[in-house]
Structure 1
Amino acid sequence: MTDFGKALHATETAIPGLVVWDVPVHGDSRGWFKENWQREKMVAAGLPDFLPVQNNISFNDAVGTTRGIHAEPWDKWVSVATGKIFGAWVDLREGPTFGNVFTTEIDPSRAIFVPRGVGNAYQTLEADTAYVYLVNDHWSPDATYTFLNLADEASAIAWPIPLDDVEISPKDLAHPRLSDVTPMAPRKTLVLGANGQLGRALRAEFGPSSNVVFATRAEFDLVAPPTWRWRDFGTIINAAAHTEVDLAETADGRRDAWAANVSGVATLARIAIENGITLVHVSSDYVFDGSLDRPYREDDPISPLGVYGQTKAAGDAVVATVPRHYIVRTSWVIGDGKNFVRTMASLAERGISPKVIDDQSGRLTFADEVARGIRHLLQARAPYGTYNLTGSGEPTTWADIARRVFDLTGHDPNSVDRVTTETYFADAATPVAPRPRNSVLDLTKLEGTGFISHSADESLKRYLGAS
């Protein structure tokens, strides 16, 4: 008999992410009514916002009808419309809980959220049982499924009715034992811009893995993205961007910057929204005008000065529409390849005394630090949103950094001549992008997630091999 009047309530199980829910059912002499899926209430109560796209019903005539154990590459919300089932779930995902088993009975007043990769099976306990499940992907013959034998000895499921006495399909009887099951891999991570300085740092941070796909600009066309099974991806890290700030002030550069930093990002946002993917997007201090006399916080109003900053601000606004997103705002990035630090070290080695800007303040951020921070946000499941991520320590000017490079490489720091931005670009023959004078970003929000940035100066020492 259906239990009426229960409050909406969640009960965790021994399988991570597998959660049993008590569902309010309202009944009288005429019958009963329930909200089988009510997104606003259930998400507020802690159910993942899993974005279902299909609703299926399996009707079972006889007591003892048994189906499973099937693990699909999507999440499911399982309930019963009429009748009752004995349900069995086995964790078939890669990881330490592989093989964990949970069983319970489900009637119209109970439901269960089944995460991707958890094997699902049931046995009917009443005739005319209607088994209902919402899924967040459409069935596809190209999807990867994992199966387990209903009679697997290691799982030792205590079926109420012996399997020899019930109706089972030959296909379900032929599934492998647990020892022969290939675990379902986690959803993949796609890293775009894999040959850039941040892309190379992300390669080093994540290491070789069949579950991380690295794509260069040549391999992934944002105008016509590949028709992959996007539901197999859990995260997209966008490390690709048009970053030539001065070139962006030209006619061709402006077009290219908007194409890469806005139109391309809009394509990624659409893919992420449609497929429940977490989108990680790297932003810039150039979204601010640099006029504040304190470090910029994530919620400060944006006010970009030039085309590059405008495109990054527009891209941020697009990414913010994705339900699962991280906007990682950084500044003065130094990585593998041509950069300011290497240029200064080369000048010092050749005995050249450079003129370096001394009226722009910020902190160096090394690409491996950005990669480490991105991985932290994902692994810690930090609240979605925007986070500042730079090196830590006292702010410096570009001239300060240049002098520090000269000093750390054994050369006279006084060889660096401090100049204003106006003086430095006075004789420029091509357009020059306006720069924010204050690029210092407040790190409090990121630190609240448990991530502490390395000192910019200590990172500089390591980069130059001086520590």
Structure 2
Amino acid sequence: MTDLTVHTTAIPGLLVLDLPLPGDSRGWFKENWQRQKMVAAGLPDFGPVQNNISYNQAVGVTRGIHAEPWDKYISVATGRVFGAWVDLREGDSFGATYWHEITPGVAVFVPRGVGNAFQTLEAPAAYTYLVNDHWSAAAQARYTFLNLADETAAIPWPIPLADAELSAKDTAHPRLVDVTPVPPRRTLVVGGGGQLGRALAELWESRAEVDVVTRAELDIADPQSVDAFDFAPYGAIVNAAAHTAVDAAETDEGRREAWAVNTTGVGRLVEAARAQRATLVHVSSDYVFDGSVPMHSEEEPPSPLGVYGQTKAAGDQVVATLPDHYIVRTSWVTGEGANFVGTMASLAERGIDPSVVDDQIGRLTFTQDLAEAIDHLLATRPAPGIYNVTSAGEPRSWAQIAAEVFALTGHDPARITPVSTAAYYAGKVGIAPRPAHSALDLAKITATGFAPREQLSALREHLQR
């Protein structure tokens, strides 16, 4: 009896499995699908939702070549078939071929966009397959086809096609030269109207497969908006939407809004990503910590002080239930729009000398770097989980950052008056608690090959821009 073994092929992602067939004189038994063992052996955890069987009662029945918009795991329960596959996905492997005989002791994993065909060699043949999306007429409309007799693929059919049984539709499919390659799954950016959303739109403006939507197009706090949105085309979802008004979150109305967006709305995105087998990138915050330690690692448990931090921490926990996720934790975000750096530059220009807190310590994060870090994670695909992303360099106080802004814009940094947080907010009501230390440890993200810019250099470039 063979061991369960997973083999790679010339087509990226197309895998052949040897299946154990224990048996005796009465027959055999096999575990045709065993998630735990097969994933451990190297099969993707592809999440099948439908099981189909194609029954072929005659030798020579030939079906294909069909590339479908889902992943597929195939085997036979009885009989013997010849399987053939052609990569119809856009990219360097377009047109690559592979063929293999399938018996009860063999299974094949076929990734989305790879054309699949089979020919019955021993009948009756029960050809069984699992797929990770439900069949529908709309889904079938997204199939891509290749002619079984394509000369470029040159599949060595054991039974010549002239002697085989084919459908009229299969004989009419196009040759490879006329096939439009299957494009990669699309990327969706939610919250395109915010600072990060605009930075992602700028970074990915040349990518035709990226869609950036604003709250008017998709409001994750509104269940009807989410239900009406078509997530089917997307293989990656970047959540740049958030309720970030930390003081307003302490009010009755703001509290409800913060929970609706940062937790309940995030949960809706998680379920949408789960249903589409999509990667979810979610942006988190230093406010999930109480700031009691100088440097926060990804392993530190959350300890939020205020409502905003509580909603972000809860949203992170929901995202973590999704196997394929990246939680990008950041702090002191600065981009195109309303932010601390822009406010200080405006005050300097208008001749206003502000008091700025000097006992909250952290690092700026420029949306350009944050967007590039997200792009890096999606391109390199390190292990799922939390990744801290901020600018690099020595942590500084808000007062020190303000002084740098004044100096870099040609104004006297001595115009900044450092004050404590307690003194700054004395007599004010409805103020959310702030973490005293917001600096995030960057060792994990840098280990993936991403190098954030030093914050003061990035600040200079930002102000010049």
Whether these two folds match at TM > 0.5 is yes
**Out of 163, 167, 181, which is 2:165 matched to?**
167
Aligned 8 A contact 1:81 1:108 in 2: yes
Give the equivalent residue in structure 2 for 1:320.
320
What secondary structure is seen at the aligned counterpart in 1 of 2:197? helix
Aligned 8 A contact 1:65 1:167 in 2: yes
Correspondence 1:278 to 2:274 = no
> What's the CA shift string for 1:351-409, capped at 9, x where partnerless?
22111110000000001111111111111111111111111110011111111111111
Correspondence 1:134 to 2:133 = no
Give the equivalent residue in structure 2 for 1:444.
443
User: How far apart are 1:192 and its partner, in Å?
Assistant: 0.5
Correspondence 1:33 to 2:29 = yes
Aligned counterparts of 1:160 and 1:23: Cα–Cα separation in 2: 23
Structure 1 portions without partners, runs of 5+ = none
Correspondence 1:19 to 2:18 = no
**Out of 82, 85, 102, which is 2:81 matched to?**
85
Aligned 8 A contact 1:359 1:437 in 2: yes
User: How far apart are 1:274 and its partner, in Å?
Assistant: 2.6
Structure 2 portions without partners, runs of 5+ = none
What secondary structure is seen at the aligned counterpart in 2 of 1:128? strand
Give the equivalent residue in structure 2 for 1:191.
189
What secondary structure is seen at the aligned counterpart in 2 of 1:158? coil
Aligned 8 A contact 1:272 1:278 in 2: yes
**Out of 46, 51, 56, which is 1:55 matched to?**
51
Tell me the TM-score normalized by structure 1: 0.96
Give the equivalent residue in structure 1 for 2:207.
209
Correspondence 1:337 to 2:337 = yes
Aligned counterparts of 1:379 and 1:402: Cα–Cα separation in 2: 35
Aligned counterparts of 2:27 and 2:230: Cα–Cα separation in 1: 43
What secondary structure is seen at the aligned counterpart in 1 of 2:423? helix
Give the equivalent residue in structure 1 for 2:462.
463
Aligned counterparts of 1:230 and 1:116: Cα–Cα separation in 2: 17
Aligned-residue CA RMSD (Å): 1.2
Correspondence 1:431 to 2:430 = yes
Quick check: 434-443 or 272-281, which moved more? 272-281
Amino acid of the residue matched to residue 214 of structure 1? V
Give the equivalent residue in structure 1 for 2:405.
405
> What's the CA shift string for 1:310-367, capped at 9, x where partnerless?
1101111111111111111000000111111111112222222111110000000001
User: How far apart are 1:228 and its partner, in Å?
Assistant: 4.9
Give the equivalent residue in structure 1 for 2:175.
177
Aligned counterparts of 2:361 and 2:326: Cα–Cα separation in 1: 25
Aligned counterparts of 2:48 and 2:171: Cα–Cα separation in 1: 30
> What's the CA shift string for 1:87-111, capped at 9, x where partnerless?
1100111111111111111111111
Number of aligned residue pairs = 460
Correspondence 1:418 to 2:414 = no
Amino acid of the residue matched to residue 29 of structure 1? S
Tell me the TM-score normalized by structure 2: 0.97
Aligned pairs (5 A) from 1:300-315: 300-315=300-315
Aligned pairs (5 A) from 1:225-240: 225-228=226-229, 230-240=231-241
What secondary structure is seen at the aligned counterpart in 1 of 2:441? coil
What secondary structure is seen at the aligned counterpart in 2 of 1:142? helix
Give the equivalent residue in structure 1 for 2:108.
112
Amino acid of the residue matched to residue 339 of structure 2? N
Identical aligned pairs, as a percentage? 62
> What's the CA shift string for 1:151-208, capped at 9, x where partnerless?
1111111111111011000000000111111111111211100010000011112224
Residue 231 and residue 30 in structure 1: after superposition, are their counterparts in 2 closer, same or farther (change >3 A)?
farther
Aligned counterparts of 1:146 and 1:229: Cα–Cα separation in 2: 21
What secondary structure is seen at the aligned counterpart in 1 of 2:266? helix
Aligned counterparts of 2:10 and 2:205: Cα–Cα separation in 1: 30
Residue 66 and residue 228 in structure 1: after superposition, are their counterparts in 2 closer, same or farther (change >3 A)?
farther
